[in-house]
Amino acid sequence: MGLFITFEGPEGSGKSTQARLLYERIQALGYPVILTREPGGTRISELIRRILVDLRHTEMAPTTETLLFSAARAQLVSELVRPYLNTGGIVLCDRYADSTFAYQGYGLGRDLDELHAITTIATGGLQPDLTFYLDLDVEAGLQRKRWARDRGSEASKAVSSSGPPAEWNRLDARDLAYHQRVAAGFAELIRNNPERWRRCSAEQPLDQLAEQIFAAVEPILERVARLEPH
Ligand code: TYD
């Protein structure tokens, strides 16, 4: 069984950039690795993502939202994550089930035990080996994302230096109090399970943060066999 590493954090914390930097570094070392994201990562899950982030879908009920995130996750886990882990590879995922507890649980007030049951159905109980929390003041993060939206694609690249530009979506558009409940929720999740989490400041320079993340991953890379050189 390979290695499953996830990235969490508030909007605009630069998770996607850090996930990509780690991916490139691990790949350059010759390890089998894939990078994916939630919601999304497979054809079906990306279609579900479009429904979830659409700014027009203001009428979406919290239960619908929770089940759609979970449906996207079920597809990603069964189609991509589990099969790749079973080959002994490393899976990096930009957000995972912790986001459901933080956003739908602490943010929207869904019952945490219910979320636990739904998440177990969706993932078969698959837990990350390691989760990075990129810590950033909620207001600062939303500001970064709004700034990217208002300044167009060039500025978006500053937030997300690779991959698609940051988008302003239905879930970002929720009020500050919601995003603050989410951040407090993540803090609680970290307190409940400190050995799985690494909390890193997202306010430090990008390269320094990337070094901190790699330093935490390096010791466990030995669990994975490198690819044979061609
Ligand atoms: P995205 O643009 O990918 O945001 P980010 O760059 O911050 O990851 O949009 C994903 C949004 O979905 C983000 O606001 C967090 C939210 N989300 C949930 O509410 N529940 C979940 O289970 C997941 C995976 C994401």
pLDDT in tens, 85-142: 999 999 999 999 999 999 999 999 999 999 999 999 999 999 999 999 999 999 989 8
Question: What confidence score (pLDDT) does residue 147 get?
Answer: 86
Binding residues for ATP, by number, are: 9-16
User: What digits encode the pLDDT tens for the residues 147-161?
Assistant: 888 876 544 443 444
Question: What confidence score (pLDDT) does residue 159 get?
Answer: 40
Tokens 């390096």 correspond to 218
Q: Count the Cβ atoms, other than its own, within 10 Å of residue 93.
A: 25
24 Cα distance to chain centroid: 17
Backbone angles phi, psi at 162, to 5 degrees: -145, 170
Q: Count the Cβ atoms, other than its own, within 10 Å of residue 178.
A: 16
Q: At what angle do helices 176-192 and 138-151 cross, to 10 degrees?
A: 130
Question: What confidence score (pLDDT) does residue 158 get?
Answer: 39
Tokens 């630069």 correspond to 14
Distance from the CA of 204 to the center of ligand 1, in angstroms? 22
Distance from the CA of 162 to the center of ligand 1, in angstroms? 17
Q: Could you tell me what percent of the chain has a pLDDT over 90?
A: 81
Which residue among 65, 92, 112, 171 is best mutated to probe the pocket of ligand 1, counting the most ligand atoms within 8 A of its Cβ?
Answer: 171
Over residues 37-41, mean pLDDT: 98
- Record the tokens describing residue 84, joined without a space: 């790749």
Which homologous superfamily does the CATH classification assign to the domain defined by 3-223? P-loop containing nucleotide triphosphate hydrolases (3.40.50.300)
State if residue 98 touches ligand 1 by the CB under 6 angstroms criterion: no
pTM: 0.92
Which residue among 15, 55, 70, 99 is best mutated to probe the pocket of ligand 1, counting the most ligand atoms within 8 A of its Cβ?
Answer: 99
State if residue 167 touches ligand 1 by the CB under 6 angstroms criterion: yes
Backbone angles phi, psi at 197, to 5 degrees: -100, 145
